[in-house]
Amino acid sequence: MPLVRIDLRRGKPAAHIKAIRDGIYTARHQSFQVPEADRFIVVHQHDADEFDYDPDYLGIHRTDDLVMIQVTCNNTRGIPQKKAFYAAVVEQLTASPGLRPEDVLINLVETAKENWSFGNGVAQYA
């Protein structure tokens, strides 16, 4: 049930974006045990003047290839599972499409199960 939002600079080819989507999906499936058909991912591409970041925050050197990933999910996972997810995402995205680990920013937004409706005006998990 995680909803994934991906933000990056405009101009990457479709195959690059697909590799990012697929890598995050694989990492979620492995680390968060998300069901196979649970795939809800949106990609937002930004012009340079719409994409602002600190290139050296916390001593991590980022480039314009930075990908910001926000995952909204249930608040049911502990710190070890979250750390495994972060590592799995970086592993997937460095393998394909070849991102640098420093250019992968991940943010989890946790919510209660009753805050989801997947259609028909029904709170399926409430």
- Residues catalogued as catalytic: 2
CA distances from 64 to 2, 73, 103, 107, 115 (A): 26, 27, 8, 18, 34
Count how many residues are written for the chain. Answer: 126
Radius of gyration of the chain from its Cα atoms, rounded to whole angstroms:
15
